[in-house]
Amino acid sequence: MSDYRRGFESLRQEIHEPSLPVEGDWPNWLEGTLFRNGPAQFEVGDEDYNHWFDGHAMLHAFRMQDGTVAYRNRFVRSKSRTEALEEGRITRSEFATDPCMSIFGRVMSLFNPTPTDNASINVARLDDRYVALTATPLPVAFDPETLETAGVVAYDDDVDVDMSTPHPHVEPGTERTLVHTVSFGRQCQYGVYGVAAGETTRRPVATLGVDRPSYMHSFGMSDNYVILSEWPLVVDPTDLLLRGEPFIENFEWRPGRGTRFRVLRKEDGAEVATHEMEAAFGFHHVNAFERDGAVVCDVVTYPDASIVDELSLGRLRSDDPSPGSGHLRRYRLPLDGGSASSTIQSDERLELPRIHDGPATGRPYQYVYGVGTRVEGQFTDQLVKIDVSTGAAQTWHEAGTYPGEAVFVPAPGGTDEDDGVVLSVVLDPADHQSFLLVLDAASFAERARAPVPHPIPFGFHGQFFG
């Protein structure tokens, strides 16, 4: 196979390469580790997972020091993976895959649920521990040197929730981590919780009752507010208990509901503004900030939720994947209840958005980095940098290769928002390998690359820690 579909093949090999070959002008100041996370095994025994989001999590680490790059990869030894390998079949429900159960088994699972700890979406630092994250509230700790799994992190509180975003926000200045949660039940609830630096206790920032929760993969944060985007992809909680369908298949697209933005004040949890907008769907908030009496909220959006089905493995492995990318849309949400508005900020398509974390987080900013498509309907095949104020875009593309998420790393002492480099793991299916790409963030020109001995399956998110 010599096309993008190699990125959806299982990688079972775990290796440690202490020194990858380096090509080009490697920045002498670039020292630290890029951790990447994503699925790497898409079948167990004779059973296949249904969706890209369902594969067993694998961590990848690129450790950079003195101009050298070391590489290591390891599966996350989750209970979900361990049980599946021991029994030779899928044992826990994932995003779009449900294990085959007898009627008795389904009834018993209602009283003794076993949520997946297959933490395949993101990585973060929590109380000096490195953790892999998924959409369930079960962060899995790992050793940053060896990538060995250290078990699920136990929070020091009695918060009981069913879902927790894999995209926490870290407040600049306070270093408090904010997470968004959902609890299902007779009365469902959205929650926003804060975890102070150096602690593992979740303290409530805001809670909201809701009848039919929306599927929200991420949320927005400005200096003083948290923004929840209730897309009209919603679920009746009784369906989660009784229908026996994979998790996401219980959600229904109800465009007549429109999209509701709920602006919550961090200080006291008050809902200070609620805005009804046109129906849309999005996975990823980009950034949010306050300006002229309004919260400005940037999100990558799609016209509807069909993108969820388009990311199924059957579709992605077909001859016509057509997953596409979204558009960067800016929502202006007045705090006094005035009329909200939205505009598309660039013609260039975008997904997996990243910014200069810290200085730009929750504040007015200029640049967003991500993956995109050169031709609509093709699989993502380029990296994109968009000036959010003008819509102008710069791109990087190499024929026959497929880049992943673009992670910005600032240069020491840099003064401009784009003074630094962008790191991306790029699949080169023709050469049966991937490589770590280093772009100059300002010019978006290639500086260097470091090939890996095997192809790395397409992942989701990662973090650079210096």
Residue 113 has pLDDT above 70, yes or no: no
Contact present, 225 and 263 (Cβ < 8 Å): yes
Going by C-alpha positions, the residue among 110, 113, 118, 53 that lies closest to residue 84 is 118
Give the pLDDT band (50/70/90) at residue 111. Answer: very low
- pLDDT, position 319: 80
Identify the three-state secondary structure at position 186.
coil
State residue 364 phi and psi, 5-degree precision.
-55, 140
Give the pLDDT band (50/70/90) at residue 112. Answer: very low
- pLDDT, position 102: 40
Going by C-alpha positions, the residue among 465, 444, 303 that lies closest to residue 369 is 444
- pLDDT, position 209: 96
- 183, two tokens: 């609890």
- pLDDT, position 168: 97
Distance CA 299, CA 112 (A): 37
Q: Which amino acid appears at position 137 of this protein?
A: P
How much is the average pLDDT of 224-250?
Answer: 92
Distance CA 378, CA 372 (A): 9
The pLDDT tens digits of the residues spanning 10-41 come to 999 999 999 999 999 999 999 999 999 999 99
Distance CA 100, CA 32 (A): 43
Distance CA 396, CA 459 (A): 19
The pLDDT tens digits of the residues spanning 150-207 come to 999 989 999 999 999 999 999 999 999 999 999 998 899 999 999 999 898 999 999 9
What is the residue whose two structure tokens read 């009804």? 276
Strands 420-428 and 407-410: antiparallel
Which one has a higher pLDDT value, 320 or 404?
404
The mean of the pLDDT values for the chain is 93
What's the pTM value of the predicted model, to 2 decimals? 0.95
Distance CA 299, CA 288 (A): 9
- 117, two tokens: 């700890």
- pLDDT, position 100: 60
Contacts by residues 423-427 (CB-CB < 8 Å, ≥ 24 positions apart): 423/34, 423/62, 423/464, 424/383, 425/36, 425/60, 425/452, 425/456, 425/459, 425/462, 426/398, 426/401, 426/402, 427/4, 427/6, 427/7, 427/401, 427/402, 427/403, 427/455, 427/456, 427/458
Q: How far apart are the first and last CA of the chain?
A: 36
